[in-house]
Amino acid sequence: MTTRRTLLAASLLAAMALPAAAQTEIKLGHVGGPGSLFELSANEFARRANEKLGNKAKVVVFGSSQIGGDSELMQKLRLGTVELAIPSSVMSSAVDAFGMFEMPYLVKSRDHMKKIEQAVVWPSLAPMAEAKGYKILAVWENGFRNITTNTKPIVKPEDLSGMKLRVPQGKWRVKMFQAYGANPSPMAFSEVFVALQTGVMDGQENPLTQIYSAKFQEVQKFLSMTGHVYTPAYLVTGKTKFASLPADVQKILADTAKETQGYVYEQAAKLDDDLLGKIKAAGVKVNEADKDAFIAASKDVYQEFAKEVPEGGKLVDKAIELGKGMK
């Protein structure tokens, strides 16, 4: 009798443990390093979501390209082997119209981006992404991009002439820097530090949060404040995999993704202020760029984009209209 009771108790304990063992793991992958805006954003989202999810599921974050670079993560989202990712520039490789955010000096500020989000991203870009198998849950941030180099400071476009410059995946960034006279080369973010350290690349361009968290200040001499592109980031999931999750889990993830945007923007603004000082303290020489000269050199890129991606060109025009009168 005692043995039977023991077996019964063990069976009950095992049955009670099943839900926890079967808990759904929701993998969130990104390329940001420790201390990056991507890491802060992902961890805050996971914290908030997991509080609401309870035992239904658990968001687990994998940063620093642990489960793939941007291109790999985009493939894994479609395959359903990764549930969530934070792509930025690479979105233009999946949907041409996202190349609008590769257009130099298009987005003036975060307030301008919020207008673009409501008038362009959700009604136009999000459905285009969904048609390719991706579902955007929220618009977050990568940030305003600046150039670092090992050779000389960049003040005007002609200073980039012949320079080997790493750029992210996305053909419009390549075209932009070709227009400035550089020799741009797409490369996975995880490979950039060594490329700069060994001289395979002379420089790169990224928001300050990515520059500092990736320790580029250790292998670069100059930081030129070009602010040439503002890149939003997106919390993205695979359409098919997301639809397979329970409806209440879907709702929690979608709601929390949007709720986290305020935190992302707040942290982004704080990092902008903090990191410039830290990069200077590391011995990097910082200079302002002649933005008017860069804007003048960007006209051909806008014209080519409008010609090659007509729907994207129309969205660019809409974004420009939304920014009139804004600083």
pLDDT at position 169 is 86
pLDDT at position 101 is 97
Question: Environment class of residue 114 by beta-carbon count within 10 Å: exposed (0-12), middle (13-18) or buried (19+)?
Answer: middle
Q: Partners of 225 in the beta sheet? A: 288
**Which residue in this structure is represented by tokens 């939003």?**
232
Check if the beta carbon of residue 209 is closer than 8 Å to that of residue 271: yes
CA 82 centroid distance within chain? 16
Neighbour count for residue 139 (Cβ, 10 Å): 22
C-alpha to C-alpha distance for 10 and 4, rounded to whole angstroms? 10
Please give the helix or strand (H or E) that residue 321 lies within, else none: helix 310-322
pLDDT at position 305 is 97
In the chain (327 residues long), the average pLDDT of successive 10-residue segments reads 50 46 88 96 98 97 97 97 97 95 96 98 98 98 97 98 95 96 97 98 97 97 98 98 98 98 97 94 98 97 97 97 93
C-alpha to C-alpha distance for 22 and 25, rounded to whole angstroms? 9
For β-strands 285-288 and 222-225, DSSP reports them as parallel
pLDDT at position 5 is 54
pLDDT at position 15 is 45
Cα angle vertex 323, ends 320, 327, to 5°? 135
pLDDT at position 210 is 95
CA 81 centroid distance within chain? 19
C-alpha to C-alpha distance for 249 and 252, rounded to whole angstroms? 5
CA 256 centroid distance within chain? 18
Domains and CATH numbers, the chain: 2-322 (3.40.190.170)
pLDDT at position 14 is 46
**Which residue in this structure is represented by tokens 């990764």?**
82
